[in-house]
Structure 1
């Protein structure tokens, strides 16, 4: 082989060797890019929420029951001055009423029939009302919420005698009773109260302006 041929061959070999590092560098760079892409993908998977529920969505609160004043009649027909099982059951149901639970004032009115004298009937009506009050106290109702009133025979629920003037035992039994009234709490009464004079005058002025 001539000298010039040897030199040409050595030049070709040197060129091949010079290009190899460039190819290796390109391969390393491509691998680095792929690794970076894989890292982003892994991070995205790690940061992805595990639940499709939106935490910013707050469930609606259950609607509060509408409060209304409560009127309850507790009979004392056959029990005299003491609560019987039927009366206690009625009072237990009263305690579960939303208006009672809301904390409004409780008025307890005692009543009798017309048999006996007025003074004795007044005492009996108070004892019946106090029996109801004491039972509610035993069930956790604060004493300051309750007011006891004795009416005696003055507020009969039904006539104590029949139309011909004869005695009516069933009518008298219905009059031996205690009435329990539970009022709305102060907050509920305020929200349903009529507007004051200033508000009413403002509404009237606005109505005239629109006309």
Structure 2
């Protein structure tokens, strides 16, 4: 496996992920309640991953290692949910354990300021080697959550790490919203993996 995809990732973040007990991916699902998130009993050794506009912000804690992943908006430019505004901005100001990751795009689309990592799309992660790109629209590809899952799965193998990966609040009905992702492929990969799934 190549390490090219890690060249512009925070070294400190990579080390924290590799040493973590769990990597917990939180969906932007309104059914994902604060009570459900609290029931996960998140520890200081866990990594908590949120996406784009990070709608679960009220349930996040500054004492945890938080990773905010923002996907490139190819239609309008920029990245979903970044730069931070409102409560997200306050959370980032007072949280030294927060890491921002820009997903997709290139040097011309990356933010001009701020501290963040960059994770290009179309990486040769094991989970994506047979992804059916050919059956999707031109801009189609893995969903943001699945791409993140593929990255953490890859990093776990690369580092020989033992952390568990949890998907929390992700719906099986995502395929009804947009045909640009290979939803059935993603569901079947998850079912055949060791990933733990917590539904809302």
After TM superposition, is the score higher than 0.5? no
Name the TM-score, length of structure 2 as normaliser: 0.28
Max radius of gyration: which structure? 1
Higher helix share: 1
Higher strand share: 2
